[in-house]
Amino acid sequence: MSKRVLTTESGAPVADNRNSASAGIGGPLLLQDQHLLEKLARFNRERIPVGAPPTPLRQWGRVMHARGSGAYGYFEVTDDATGFTCADFLASVGERTEAFVRFSTVADSPGGADAVRDPRGFAVKFYTAEGNDDLVGNNTPVFFVKDPIKFPDFIHSQKRDPFTGRREPHNVRDFWAHAPEATHQVTWLMADRGIPASYRHMNGYGSRTYQWTNAEGEAFFVEYHFKTNQGVRSLSSEQAAKPAGKDPNSHQTDLLQAIERGVNPSWTLYVQITPAAEAADNRFNPFGLTKVWPHRDHPLQRVGRLVLDLNQDNVFTEVEQATFSPNNFVPGIGPSPDKMLQGRLFAYADAHRYRLGVNHTPLAVNAPKATTAQNHGRDGLMAADAQGRHAKNYEPNSYDGPVETGRPLSAPLAVTGHTGTHEAPLHTKDDDFFQAGELYRLMSAEERQRLVANIAGGLSQVTRDDMIEKNLAHFHAADPEYGRRVAETVRALRED
Catalytic residues: 65, 138
- How far is Cα 207 from Cα 27, in angstroms, rounded to an integer? 19
Is-contact 344 37, C-beta < 8 A? no
Please give the C-alpha separations between residue 150 and each of 28, 339, 348, in angstroms, as whole numbers.
17, 11, 16
Please give the C-alpha separations between residue 292 and each of 184, 222, 287, 472, 477, in angstroms, as whole numbers.
10, 12, 10, 23, 18
Identify which of 261, 265, 352, 342 has the alpha carbon closest to the alpha carbon of residue 307: 265
- How far is Cα 44 from Cα 135, in angstroms, rounded to an integer? 20
- How far is Cα 244 from Cα 113, in angstroms, rounded to an integer? 5
Sign of CA dihedral 404, 409, 410, 416: negative
Dihedral angle of Cα 308, 312, 317, 319, to the nearest 10 degrees = 40
Taking residue 436's Cβ as centre, other Cβ atoms within 10 Å add up to: 27
Residue 386 φ/ψ region, left for φ over 0, alpha for ψ in the -120 to 50 degree band, beta for the rest? alpha
- How far is Cα 288 from Cα 282, in angstroms, rounded to an integer? 12
The residues, ordered by sequence, that sit 6+ positions from 182 with a Cβ below 8 Å of its Cβ are: 144, 145, 154, 175, 176, 290, 474
* C-alpha 159, offset from chain centre: 17
Please give the C-alpha separations between residue 36 and each of 16, 157, 259, in angstroms, as whole numbers.
10, 18, 42
Query: Within 13 Å of residue 301, how many CA atoms lie on the same side as its CB?
Result: 14
